[in-house]
Structure 1
Amino acid sequence: MEFKTAQRKRAKLRLAIAGTSGCGKSYSALVIASGMTTWNKIAVIDSENGSAELYAHLGTYSVLTIGTPYTPEKYIEAIKIAEQQGFEVIIIDSLSHAWTGEGGILDQQGKAADSKYKGNSWAAWRECTPKHNALVDAILKSSCHIIATMRSKTEYTQVTENGKSVVKKLGMAPIQREGMEYEFTVFFDISAEHIAIASKDRTGLFDGQYFKPHAETGQKLLAWLNCSTSQSTQPVIPVIPQVASEVIPDVFHEDNLDTSNAYRIISTEAKTKGNGQVFAKIVLQQGDTHILAWSAQAEILDIPAGSLITAKMTAKQGTNVIEEYALVKAGEAA
């Protein structure tokens, strides 16, 4: 055995896009793929009842529709066919069916436990886990770029926007085996407003950004995968501004208001963990810089967009976390 200097080499994309119904997963996958290759080199493995063909006006991509049962073997076979036919980007829309659909892993595990193992679910998993692992291996070892969409669990909550209470549809954990996100290079979560955020990004291209996916997104990814060093595709490093370490006062007076260290709230969104805890995803602005941050203090959701706050912010595992905050001035969004 011998250690050698690490070098980044050309690679194939492994991108996951998760979101609720109607958020634009299929469309986003297609436009990202169009930035990576020509339309006739894009193949879609469609388990969404033909929904992929709704965007045929975008370009001349190809579709292979699979129906029940949604066995991992069907997905693996479809991936191999796309490779053999010379496609460059494979879109799996959606990968969730291979997990929770009829004939998917959960369905197979439940039936095996009932019929073969007398209710012993652990024994059934010993039979079904290798099938799931085989699908993961097919994705990771494919000679093509792969973009996989996943459905997200849906929950509704009440949030405050511009001083008014509105009901929002929230996307939660993707409908897939726990930990599946670790298999991908980049993982986008897309909101009901079609805004993407990278919950995982090994490229560093999208850290701290919120954006609508388009062809340029694919171009940036392709340049990174090809080890391009052009300035236009350099990773965007999230800026974590320095903030005062002293205790933040509870009351601010208009006549001596200092907003030099304040952040303007652009938007807030409620998120719910599996244990039911509600926390806040906040987009802030300071000067020309937009900052994505998170807070366990859910009451920040009640502050209207456009307001100014001060915040004690720290970086934890590449994520901006607001530990303390105080309202400087309430206001309306610009």
Structure 2
Amino acid sequence: MFKKAERKQARLRLALAGPSGSGKTYSALQMAKGLGSKIAVIDTEHGSASLYADAADFDVMELHAPYTPERYVEAIQAAESAGYDVLIIDSYSHEWTGPGGCLEINDETAKARFKGNTWSAWSETTPRHRKLTDKILTSPLHIICTMRSKTETVQGEGKKIVKLGLKSEQRDGTDYEFTVVLDLTHDGHYAVASKDRTRLFQHPELVTPETGTKLLAWLNDGRSQEQQAEDAVNEAISKIPMVETMHELQSVYAATYRQAQEYPELLAKLNTAKDKRKAELTQPEEKTA
């Protein structure tokens, strides 16, 4: 069934992309300070995040090669279990281009299982990468991923090399997974939005704790899942007394059960209404004299 669209409360999924020296790590930490008080960093840059220990209060896990998707997933799970508010993955690029990352995994898989056919090998590599993507998208933490950028070029007329701009070192299409993608400039460390579902980044700006604060306000502006579940249960309870068959009753109940099941009080209200109408529908008709 179609229903009116509503923006829900959400967790941040943001990417900071830029060349070396553009300020990705520092900017991520500044933004994180505005998002929450407990900050964790997965550092694949050989301890570079710790150089900013005087700029923010955070805990760090240094992740070394091999940079497999599974090791990233384990690190994210560890951050979740420890109760952090914000997780910075610095850098997400290593999972793709680093030693033991997906490009290397695919080459090795092609040699071992597909007679050197790297195209066929993606049938095994892609699901592994996808599990990490899904983990990032479904985590209860606010997540900021830094990604290295490099200049993308093509060969034009007369074999002339034409620069197309900067391209993130990650799988093509990765930008689509994030709510916001900010490209950092080398000169001035300004952030320019190349993707922005929040519509908060209309002009280049320096990333500060206030950047995180305004993002948090936007994220919290939607209706909570519990509020949406309560509305759905109340609507179902209003419909249940009017259903005429058990099939209709089951349809109304099933459409709301998934939203209510995480909230015992709401589920109890839904079950009470359902059981009452079920008893009425299954009650034998009184015989007339």
Letter in 2 for 1:174: S
Letter in 1 for 2:109: A
Contact 1:170 1:191 in 2 (8 A): no
Letter in 1 for 2:125: C
**Aligned-partner Cα distance in 2 for 1:112–1:86:** 36
Which residue in the other structure is 2:74 paired with? Answer: 77
User: How does 1:146-165 map onto structure 2 within 5 Å?
Assistant: 146-154=143-151
Which residue in the other structure is 1:204 paired with? Answer: 199
**Which whole-Å deviations, capped at 9, do the CAs of 1:152-182 have from their partners, x for residues lacking one?**
01479xxxxxxxxxxxx99611000000000
1:32 aligns with 2:31: yes
Q: How far off its partner does 1:3 sit?
A: 1.1
**Aligned-partner Cα distance in 2 for 1:143–1:37:** 13
**Which whole-Å deviations, capped at 9, do the CAs of 1:274-299 have from their partners, x for residues lacking one?**
xxxxxxxxxxxxxxxxxxxxxxxxxx
Letter in 1 for 2:174: M
Please, what TM-score do these two structures have when normalized by structure 2? 0.71
Which residue in the other structure is 2:62 paired with? Answer: 65
Which residue in the other structure is 2:84 paired with? Answer: 87
Q: Which 5+ residue runs of structure 1 have no aligned equivalent? A: 157-168, 230-334
**Which whole-Å deviations, capped at 9, do the CAs of 1:228-285 have from their partners, x for residues lacking one?**
79xxxxxxxxxxxxxxxxxxxxxxxxxxxxxxxxxxxxxxxxxxxxxxxxxxxxxxxx
SS at match of 2:35: coil
Contact 1:152 1:171 in 2 (8 A): no
Change (3 A) 1:143 1:228: closer
**Which whole-Å deviations, capped at 9, do the CAs of 1:306-333 have from their partners, x for residues lacking one?**
xxxxxxxxxxxxxxxxxxxxxxxxxxxx
SS at match of 1:35: helix
Letter in 1 for 2:18: G
**Which whole-Å deviations, capped at 9, do the CAs of 1:43-79 have from their partners, x for residues lacking one?**
0001001101000002320000100100011100000
> Which residue, 37, 40, 44 being the options, matches 2:41?
44
Identity among equivalent pairs (%): 56
Letter in 1 for 2:110: A
**Aligned-partner Cα distance in 2 for 1:148–1:171:** 20
SS at match of 2:144: strand
**Which whole-Å deviations, capped at 9, do the CAs of 1:111-170 have from their partners, x for residues lacking one?**
1112221111122100100001000000000000000000001479xxxxxxxxxxxx99
Structure with the greater alpha carbon radius of gyration = 2
Change (3 A) 1:115 1:32: same
Q: CA RMSD in A?
A: 1.8
Contact 2:185 2:191 in 1 (8 A): yes
**Aligned-partner Cα distance in 2 for 1:228–1:69:** 39
Q: Higher strand proportion, which one?
A: 1
Which residue in the other structure is 1:285 paired with? Answer: none
1:221 aligns with 2:220: no
Letter in 2 for 1:177: R
**Aligned-partner Cα distance in 2 for 1:37–1:88:** 5
Letter in 2 for 1:130: P
**Aligned-partner Cα distance in 2 for 1:23–1:8:** 33
**Aligned-partner Cα distance in 2 for 1:95–1:223:** 26
SS at match of 1:149: strand
Contact 2:30 2:56 in 1 (8 A): no
**Aligned-partner Cα distance in 1 for 2:50–2:44:** 11
Q: Higher helix proportion, which one?
A: 2
SS at match of 2:206: coil
Letter in 2 for 1:215: P
Which residue in the other structure is 1:173 paired with? Answer: 167
Contact 2:95 2:102 in 1 (8 A): yes
**Aligned-partner Cα distance in 2 for 1:223–1:155:** 35
**Aligned-partner Cα distance in 2 for 1:82–1:74:** 13
Which residue in the other structure is 2:122 paired with? Answer: 125
Please, what TM-score do these two structures have when normalized by structure 1? 0.62
**Aligned-partner Cα distance in 1 for 2:114–2:152:** 35
**Aligned-partner Cα distance in 2 for 1:223–1:14:** 14
1:195 aligns with 2:190: yes
**Aligned-partner Cα distance in 1 for 2:85–2:164:** 33
SS at match of 2:150: strand
User: How does 1:1-334 map onto structure 2 within 5 Å?
Assistant: 2-38=1-37, 41-154=38-151, 172-193=166-187, 194-207=189-202, 209-227=203-221
